[in-house]
Amino acid sequence: MADTMQRLHKAVLKARETDPGQSRTARLMQGGRAKMAKKLVEEAAEVTIDAVCGDRDAVVRESADLLYNLTVLWVDMGIVPDDVWTEMQRREQLYGIAEKLHKGPVAVVDGAVSFGAPASNDRKG
């Protein structure tokens, strides 16, 4: 999959320089970051709705659209797929490949990950 995402990223980079009258990607990018983000949210919603409805084939199709629109946003922000893969590797080392990043305070002591309240010296009051 990483190779496919690399190829998609390169194609979006190239399309960015194309005439917006000839390229949907160029037209989307010309619309600005807010338009790109809106398309990304729309595709995520479509994946979600199709999943809730149990339409596997639609989830596959809409997931491809979601990845495309995510890649367009990455290109606009100067993000390359390797930036994301590096973050995923970092998270895998800390939490395991199938875990989402914890949003609260995290401490790593002697290689062990700890979730919870901030250290006592960080608390107010």
Q: Is 117 left (phi over 0), alpha (psi -120 to 50) or beta?
A: beta
Model pTM score: 0.76
Least confident of 20-34, 37-51, 94-108: 94-108
Q: Which SS3 state, helix, strand or coil, does residue 47 take? A: helix
For the chain, which domains are there? 2-79 (1.10.287.1080)
Classify residue 12 by its DSSP letter. Answer: H
Contact by Cβ (8 Å): 66, 44: yes
Mean pLDDT along residues 24-45: 96
Q: Categorize the per-residue pLDDT at 91 as very low, low, confident or very high, splitting at 50, 70 and 90.
A: confident
Long-range pairs for 77-82: beta carbons < 8 A, 24 or more residues apart: 77/33, 80/9, 81/2, 81/5, 81/6, 81/9
For 21, phi and psi rounded to 5 degrees? -75, -15
